Structure 1
Amino acid sequence: MCTTYPRRTTYTGKCTLSTADTLYTDRPAEGSHAMPSQERQAQAHDKDHVSVWERLERPAPAPRTTLTPRRIAKAAVAVADAEGLDAVTMRRLATELGVAPMAAYRYVTGKDELIELMVDFVYAEMDLPGETDNWRTTMHTLALRIREVLLRHSWVTRATWCAPTPNQLAVPEAALAALDGLGLDADTAMVVYSTVTSYVHGAVNAEVGVTQLLRVRGWSSREEARSGLASQMAWLLSTGRFPMYERYIGEAGRKDDLQWQFETGLECVLDGISEHLKI
């Protein structure tokens, strides 16, 4: 697991820091000094035409305070992990960082770009698999590691509309590199990657949904949830309309083995890809 917060510029099979990395170094931010009007106008023009990542690649402005993109992202992620994505606002972020409400706007134009920073921050936690001759091993490992990140930061599943970020793009880069040389065209290779990640997101969403139900109902475990829902389930099954589900309830022995469920489903997905594409 990476202990730093790197920007992956190219896929190398492991977490690395770019020697030219300027994204998450200690770039100072605006403090109490007023920004010259000419500089404000130039920044406003830039923010209308380039992404947050391109702006952060540029040389740092004159030192003012110790606010950095990394500090901004880390604080915002902490709030989202504890209270959910809706709790993250620019004003709340300023309070957590102990800065003026407008200070973070030196780096991001608003919540959309802030979420980009947050998503990039959590994807940097992912230890990408090393180079291998086996595409299936790489896809399996990527799926497991994406799941780990999403379960640690469940709010990310709500940020799927987020624009691409450097660390996020490192994941399909690794997958496509593993699929290269198998005779697949570019579209098919991307479909393979998208199919696997769609499975991961669907499985994680199901897990997160149950976790949210437990929290809302005040249940401490899945067993307690089953007990709490027992009368409702008993009535549903008594209608006779769900004999196969009733059989599942009575016979299944791995209802709470989420890792086994996930990996079994993943193997089915990979088997289907392998058989359909003959790879």
Structure 2
Amino acid sequence: MTIWERPEPKPRAAPVPLSRDKIAATAIRLADAHGLDGLSVRKIAKELGVGPMRLYDYVVNRSELLDLMVDVVYARIARADRRAGWRDTVLDIAHATREAALDHEWFADILGGRPHLGPHALAVGEANAAALAQAPGIDGLDELQRALGALNSFIIGAIRREVTERRTTRDTGDDINAFQSRLGPYLRRMLDTGDYPTVARLVIDGAHLEPAETFAHNLTTVLDGITG
């Protein structure tokens, strides 16, 4: 049975009471601080003040631990505002997913991997699919699958890119202003050759929005495209 079908062990008298919720919360705190590479049952047990073997009564392996962690994040996404229209619902879920991933960067590493089948993940998936199924231009299951695929690909790619850029800035200390100052003169010389006129227009005349604005703008463009 999956962890979602297997009953949680009954509470027992112990100096440190445990639960799957408590284990997941501790794992998330460690992953937020150190990433998934720094996550292990032994470290979680030490943080909780228990022996590692006690945790195996609640989660049998690392995959189940990740399942618990991921579904806690989806619980937050599931609480996103739901408005009457299909479009607002899809937008709310997309923005809530981005915000959750920015608060828990390890979540971006897991997005797009194996299916997320916890109860909250399924609830988010149902809400998103049900809303998009009501969109104009979505006629039948095949079109809904293609639309969901395109939308999810954009959301996952955009979130991963933003998280990667944030990590790079932290790791190198090279923010966008420092990057532009260091490489700007080279780029200007290259653009002045006239060999890259379209790139030049984008760099010089294009809008350079903040990440949240970029995500919102591009999300709208994608949604218009797949439902138009």
TM-score bin, normalised by smaller chain? 0.7 to 0.9
Q: CA deviation at 1:181?
A: 5.6
Of 8, 13, 23, 1:72 maps to: 23
- Is it true that 1:229 corresponds to 2:183 in the alignment? yes
Q: 1:90 to 1:242 in 2, by over 3 A?
A: farther
Q: 1:131 to 1:249 in 2, by over 3 A?
A: closer
Of 80, 85, 88, 1:137 maps to: 88
TM-score (norm 2): 0.85
Q: 1:62 to 1:170 in 2, by over 3 A?
A: closer
Map of 2:5 onto structure 1: 54
Question: Equivalents in 1 of 2:207, 2:154: separation in Å?
Answer: 23
Q: 1:217 to 1:196 in 2, by over 3 A?
A: same
Alignment of 1:27-42 (within 5 A): none
Which 4+ runs in 1 deviate beyond 6 A?
A: none
Across the aligned residues of Structure 1 and Structure 2, the Cα RMSD in angstroms comes to: 2.3
CA contact (8 A) 1:139 1:196 kept: no
CA contact (8 A) 2:8 2:58 kept: no
Q: CA deviation at 1:88?
A: 0.7
Map of 2:71 onto structure 1: 120
Of 150, 169, 185, 1:214 maps to: 169
Alignment-mate amino acid for residue 200 of structure 2: E
Question: Equivalents in 2 of 1:86, 1:178: separation in Å?
Answer: 36
Q: 1:265 to 1:180 in 2, by over 3 A?
A: closer
Question: Equivalents in 1 of 2:53, 2:181: separation in Å?
Answer: 50
Q: Which moved more, 1:59-68 or 1:80-89?
A: 59-68
Q: Which has the higher helix share?
A: 2
Q: CA deviation at 1:245?
A: 2.1
The DSSP-based 3-state class of the residue aligned with 2:219 is helix
Q: What are the superposed Cα offsets for residues 148-180 of structure 1, whole Å, 9 maximum, x if unpaired?
A: 111111211211324421111111111222245
CA contact (8 A) 2:86 2:134 kept: no
Q: What are the superposed Cα offsets for residues 74-131 of structure 1, whole Å, 9 maximum, x if unpaired?
A: 1111111111111111111111111101121111111111111110111111223436
Q: 1:141 to 1:210 in 2, by over 3 A?
A: same
Map of 2:218 onto structure 1: 265
Q: CA deviation at 1:197?
A: 2.1
Question: Equivalents in 2 of 1:181, 1:215: separation in Å?
Answer: 42
Q: 1:213 to 1:236 in 2, by over 3 A?
A: farther
Larger Rg: 1
Aligned residue pairs total 221
CA contact (8 A) 2:25 2:69 kept: yes
Question: Equivalents in 1 of 2:54, 2:190: separation in Å?
Answer: 55
The DSSP-based 3-state class of the residue aligned with 1:124 is helix
**Structure 1 unaligned blocks of 5 or more:** 1-49
Of 80, 102, 113, 1:151 maps to: 102
